[in-house]
Amino acid sequence: MENGPISQDEIDALLKAMGDKGTENPDDSNSELDSNEKIDLQSSSNPILSQEEIDALLKAVPSMKTGSSSDQTASINAQNIVSSRHRKANIEKYDFTMPSRLSKDHLRSLNALHSSYARSLSSYLSISLRAAVEIECTSIEQLTYGEYLSSLFDPTCVGVFSMKPLRGIGMIEIALPLAFPMIDILLGGFGNSKIYNRPLTIIEETIIMRVMEKALSILQESWERSIELKIKLERLENNPQFIQAATTGDPVILILFDVKLDNAHGMMSLCFPFLTIQQALTSLKREESPAFIDDETMKLYKAMMQNHVRQIKLPISVRYQPSPVTLRELLELKKGDVVILQNSRKDQVQVLIAGKNKYYGNPGMVNGRRAVRILASENEEDNKGE
């Protein structure tokens, strides 16, 4: 306290202690304050004391009798006033053995980048699995590689990938409660959420590796806005202890995703050793406009939808209007007989797509092959009839 000025609350507590002492012991000769100084301090109308007055008060406090209860109370109050400053402060634990290497700008950029990646990946999986898929980037954490390995189950489904020109490898994990329903849907099932505590078979590994390759391809496109990377899936591991991406104490960045299917729910994660991704962090954009991200996501979604729709094959057939015949006429039919069709309009046939009537047309020949010319849609013909 002697190294600097004290607060007004501490001054008031000291003045109160001095007032109580002067009342109980008016003839105390041990006080180092003379009567003139006491009169000046008590009669001063200005509540702010000068530094000389404060120094005089500080010198007078130790000389008070320790037996006085009022002095002890004033001393305790002064200590409480000083200690209250520390109680108001927000104290957080800090691990000096593993300092945080991610700044707030890095966290913001990584969160924006991988939130956009989650939306793009959910669009792809919704199309390929033909089911509603929701993916959300839930958290970005920094921990040691040993802590990351201990958080994984055995067996699990971890893909190891390279990130050229960056050194080192990264990891993508799809939890088994999520991997098995995906495989079931891709094999024609309904994706029932059955949990199997076993490694993947060779066929299942081949299927899930295709999903991971596409997920990493979308991740590469997401990173292209900041840095050009060539991400390639190297291998698939069921036992995480066989992956030597870093030493046990090296820091890694873990990005968690929450994935929801129609009948399943699980977690997916990306893990980057800090030494591998350190160069990429310097190239990350500090701020990404949400509108820009949404536009990019919408363009990617439209392109994927168009590509998917163009590859769909539908059967097209042509059918005349049916003509009723009796059973006797049917039994008497022979080669060369002519069956008169009862069309509502002359030379007009129905054009069916996937078994449903969509158009009306005229049958004919084109380059020696049977063909039909589209005249109108079914709705247009219905409107004409009305």
pTM of the model: 0.52
Spatial strand order in the sheet of 369-377: 316-319, 349-353, 356-366, 369-377
Residue 251 pLDDT class (50, 70, 90 cuts)? confident
Of all helices (H) and strands (E), which one includes residue 205? helix 202-223
What is the C-alpha to C-alpha distance for residues 70 and 73, in angstroms, rounded to an integer?
Answer: 5
**Tens of pLDDT along 165-206?**
888 889 999 988 889 989 988 888 887 767 778 888 999 999
Classify 316-385 by CATH class: mainly beta
**Tens of pLDDT along 262-275?**
878 888 999 998 88
pLDDT of residue 218: 92
On the 0-12 / 13-18 / 19+ scale of CB atoms within 10 A, 70 is: middle
pLDDT surpassing 60 at residue 102? yes
Mean pLDDT of the chain: 76
pLDDT of residue 208: 93
Radius of gyration of the chain measured on its C-alpha atoms: 41
Q: What residue ranges do the domains of the chain occupy?
A: 8-88, 104-310, 316-385
What is the C-alpha to C-alpha distance for residues 222 and 204, in angstroms, rounded to an integer?
Answer: 27
**Tens of pLDDT along 29-71?**
444 444 444 444 444 444 566 777 777 777 766 544 444 455 5
pLDDT surpassing 60 at residue 110? yes
Name the residue with higher pLDDT: 3 or 340: 340
Of all helices (H) and strands (E), which one includes residue 140? strand 134-144
Tell me which residue of 150, 160, 145 sits closest to 205, measured CA to CA.
160
pLDDT surpassing 50 at residue 138? yes
**Tens of pLDDT along 124-133?**
898 888 888 8
Q: Among the listed ranges 153-157, 219-223, 288-292, which one has the minimum average pLDDT value?
A: 288-292
Q: Would 104-310 and 316-385 be classified into the same CATH topology?
A: no
Name the residue with higher pLDDT: 348 or 342: 348
Contact partners, residue 188, CB within 8 Å, separation at least 6? none
pLDDT of residue 39: 43
What is the C-alpha to C-alpha distance for residues 74 and 225, in angstroms, rounded to an integer?
Answer: 65
What count of other Cβ atoms lies within 10 Å of the Cβ of residue 284? Answer: 19
pLDDT of residue 92: 57
**Tens of pLDDT along 351-366?**
888 778 888 888 888 8
Across the strands, what pairs with 254? 141, 271
Contact predicate 234/160, CB 8 Å: yes
Tell me which residue of 102, 120, 121 sits closest to 110, measured CA to CA.
102
pLDDT of residue 90: 61
104-310: CATH, from 1.20.970.10, 3.40.50.300, 3.40.1550.10, 3.10.180.10:
3.40.1550.10
Whether omega for the bond prior to residue 290 falls within 30 degrees of 0, making it cis, is: no
| Tokens 């109980």, located at residue | 24
**Tens of pLDDT along 288-305?**
444 445 566 677 777 878
Contact predicate 381/357, CB 8 Å: no
Six token digits for residue 71: 């002095």
Residue 254 pLDDT class (50, 70, 90 cuts)? very high
